[in-house]
Structure 1
Amino acid sequence: MSTIRWTETDTPRSARWHSENGTPPPRRVLVVDEGLNAATAHRLACEGTALLWRGDFPRARRLLAALGRRVDRKPARWGEDDPAASFPLHRRARGHRARVLGKLLVPVDADAGGHRLDVPRAPDVRRACAEAYGPPSGPVVVALTELLGVLGAHQWRTKGVPVPALGARIHPHYGVFSPVRGEYVDLVARAPLPVSAGRGTAYDLGTGTGVLAAVLARRGFDRVVATDISPRALACARDNARRLHLADRIDVLGPGLFPDGRADLVVCNPPWVPARPTSALERGVYDPGGGMLHEFLARLAAHLVPGGEGWLVLSDLAEHLGLRTRADLLARVAAAGLRVVDRIDTRPRHSRARDTADPLHPARAAEVTSLWRLAVDPGGAPGPVHRSGR
């Protein structure tokens, strides 16, 4: 257990330090309130000094927003409209932003009612913190950015995310990537099922919220096995299966990627960008070295029944960013003893694809999300790629 230490009114103080991203406790801590202006706060945070907030909560949020505006002053050049050159600069800037904004800290106390934000005019954080952290075990200090993420996740979990392909809502838990990009869900909802499927078994690998497992169950599979390496995702998928009255047809197993046995259909929507995540939530987008993608391809053939298929849902954003080539992807497919039966493409519908101020706009505007239908290649050689546009 990490401990954060500071001095307040000439008295040494300490509390448990909590960081979902594994950030170590800061070495220098200064107690601050409304008397601190944004310029000084920015300078101190850039120097590595953590700012333990003792003013009221609304002003803490205003200070955080002011810090964000200062950090977001973009460099004059991002890479001359070259996404591959812009990406490392963009990631470096995002990492710097997270470090600076993460220096504004708030104390979270514990009483008989649960977690309590120990600053004036604070919102009720008991339920949100219980969902994210579990029962309180004493006072802790967290970054305000993390706490706001916890509160936001509670709202998502309460309201849910509408999924037209299900005609229902999916309720994401804290730390589990929300299915806000509906195009990949639509691909799984509409792609033609393999001939072997009937009312057989499907696997959903890296299930997250369980949204694709639910889609597969609604498409008629008698049994869907959903897996994930994240305990939070496993709990979230079980919760959503129960909410959708599909718990009798969806088995949530883990932590792990592949379950034992074989299936008629194995679906995998791995993180699309082979780069290091900087937060727990980014693990839904960034996968160092493309490890999950490579494991899926390497082990797929051994988990398919004769005539079965593997569906790989993958964006080509990494190709536009110079992080992966199409030739490398196809070579891995062939090396795994697989062939491409079909490829169904769709364009992203999210707002960032239209944001010309985004330093990665050229890559996002060109992005295509595909569902690759893969089957075991009896000859061990790659077959022709058939494309189905959308």
Structure 2
Amino acid sequence: MAVSKAEVNGMSELTLNKPEIIVSDKQLMLFSKGTDVRLTIKTLEAGHPVLITAFYSNGLTLLKELKVYLHKKLPNKSFKEQREYRAQYKKLSSLILIEIVDYKLAVKKAPAIGWLEKLYPEASRFLLPFVQVQGLNSAWQWYENGVNIPVLRNKIHPYFGTYFPTRYDHLILFDNWLKRYEGPKKSAIDVGIGSGVLSLQMVKHGFQKVHGTDTNPNAIFGLNESIKDTKLSRKITLEYANLFGTHEKQTELIVFNPPWLPTSSRLNRLDEAIYYNESLFPDFFESAKQRLLPDGKLVLLFSNLAQITEVTKAHPIEKELAEGGRFELEKCLKRKVKLASDKTKRDQHWRALEEVELWVLKPI
């Protein structure tokens, strides 16, 4: 990922995540409809880039042929073959390039992708991997058309590189809890604000001020762009920071929708929306205790996903309640997750056992 600078409401410049551009003076192999596919793939295997020309669909064709070739070479019959297949596809597909000139793809019948101008305002001619362009195109459609979230009145428009929910059971659980919440609504903190759904839910239910933090600069920048000229800008403040950032004032409600799966590997910024490291929960609970009013509530949205997929038997919230000495349980609400579509190709037999959880803790 490359980075670019952007400023949010007078904050120091944010470094946005984006696909890294390629500038090359070398003669590249060109691929179009009549090009020898086998020779093209051999060129990729030798580590040499290939440039898609003429039509956008030629890139789709080459990716399809690459998958067919790799499936024959690595039949995916064992876990080792599956892992090797994914690694090979990622390596070779990243060498398939497409040219951008004046913020447009330099081929016919190509989609218009607004991110090319938003993310690369100072670059007029460059190359990008075709698979990265596909990702930019999908992200632009979500951003332009918006995403309907059942618990919100209006669509959200997620910025490039920002996590947004595609499953809603935990959001429905939170919305139902908010409907019954009878505490004060002067302020709240949303840790890991992401695309802003939880904050928007709280504002919908009458909270006067919500402070949102995130370690993903794209999330903070994108949300700021979305709300800066609306009434929401007076209700939601944003900070690019880990956990609570510089926010020291105690509040009535702290909300956290953390990652649901543990990992032992090094995380990048996008992975942080999916996997948590071993220090996340201890650090969070320690900081949350200091920032919660004596009669305040701490709400965490979680899942039994890690347990039912046997990733781990440990449950970080249960561990805090048993050993932390900082909070006690007020209630834990659970909701069965809808089964995956019959059309999905993934093996998700465990989904029948999955539940989302809403934990309400209060300080001791």
TM-score range, shorter chain: 0.7 to 0.9
Distance 1:199 1:187, change over 3 A: same
**CA distance in 2 between partners of 1:280 and 1:43 (Å):** 34
**CA distance in 1 between partners of 2:273 and 2:81 (Å):** 21
Corresponding residue of 1:31: 29
Instruction: Please give the secondary structure, in 1, of the residue aligned with 2:138.
Output: helix
In the TM superposition, what are the counterparts of 1:143-182 in structure 2 within 5 Å? 143-182=129-168
8 Å contact kept, 1:202–1:263? yes
Corresponding residue of 1:65: 64
Instruction: Please give the secondary structure, in 1, of the residue aligned with 2:128.
Output: strand
AA aligned to 2:236 is I
- How many Å apart are 1:205 and its aligned residue? 0.8
Corresponding residue of 1:117: 105
- How many Å apart are 1:292 and its aligned residue? 3.8
Instruction: Please give the secondary structure, in 1, of the residue aligned with 2:275.
Output: coil
**CA distance in 2 between partners of 1:91 and 1:311 (Å):** 37
TM-score by length of 1: 0.75
AA aligned to 2:285 is L
In the TM superposition, what are the counterparts of 1:67-146 in structure 2 within 5 Å? 67-71=66-70, 75-78=76-79, 94-110=86-102, 115-125=103-113, 127-131=114-118, 133-146=119-132
In the TM superposition, what are the counterparts of 1:1-390 in structure 2 within 5 Å? 20=18, 30-34=28-32, 35-46=34-45, 48-71=47-70, 75-78=76-79, 94-110=86-102, 115-125=103-113, 127-131=114-118, 133-191=119-177, 197-241=183-227, 245-258=231-244, 259-275=247-263, 281-287=270-276, 289=277, 291-327=279-315, 329-336=317-324, 337-349=326-338, 351=340, 354=342, 357-359=345-347, 361-376=348-363, 378=364
8 Å contact kept, 2:189–2:254? yes
Distance 1:243 1:292, change over 3 A: farther
8 Å contact kept, 1:214–1:241? no
User: Which consecutive unaligned segments of at least 5 residues does structure 1 have?
Assistant: 3-18, 79-87, 379-390
8 Å contact kept, 1:225–1:252? yes
- How many Å apart are 1:116 and its aligned residue? 2.6
Q: Which moved more, 1:323-332 or 1:303-312?
A: 323-332
- How many Å apart are 1:136 and its aligned residue? 2.9
- How many Å apart are 1:240 and its aligned residue? 4.0
AA aligned to 2:290 is A
Identity in percent: 22
**CA distance in 2 between partners of 1:314 and 1:44 (Å):** 47
Instruction: Please give the secondary structure, in 2, of the residue aligned with 1:344.
Output: strand
8 Å contact kept, 1:268–1:296? no
Distance 1:145 1:24, change over 3 A: same
**CA distance in 2 between partners of 1:309 and 1:320 (Å):** 28
AA aligned to 1:346 is R
TM-score by length of 2: 0.80
**CA distance in 2 between partners of 1:93 and 1:187 (Å):** 39
**CA distance in 2 between partners of 1:300 and 1:343 (Å):** 18
8 Å contact kept, 2:193–2:212? yes
**CA distance in 1 between partners of 2:356 and 2:293 (Å):** 27
8 Å contact kept, 2:22–2:128? no
**CA distance in 2 between partners of 1:207 and 1:91 (Å):** 33
Q: What are the Cα deviations for residues 276-334 of structure 1, in whole angstroms up to 9, with x where unaligned?
A: 589865543234x2554443233221111112121111222222333332355522444
**CA distance in 2 between partners of 1:206 and 1:55 (Å):** 43
Instruction: Please give the secondary structure, in 1, of the residue aligned with 2:162.
Output: coil
Instruction: Please give the secondary structure, in 1, of the residue aligned with 2:289.
Output: helix
User: Which consecutive unaligned segments of at least 5 residues does structure 2 have?
Assistant: 3-16
Q: Which moved more, 1:277-286 or 1:178-187?
A: 277-286
8 Å contact kept, 1:209–1:240? no
**CA distance in 1 between partners of 2:257 and 2:194 (Å):** 10
**CA distance in 2 between partners of 1:89 and 1:270 (Å):** 32
Corresponding residue of 2:11: none
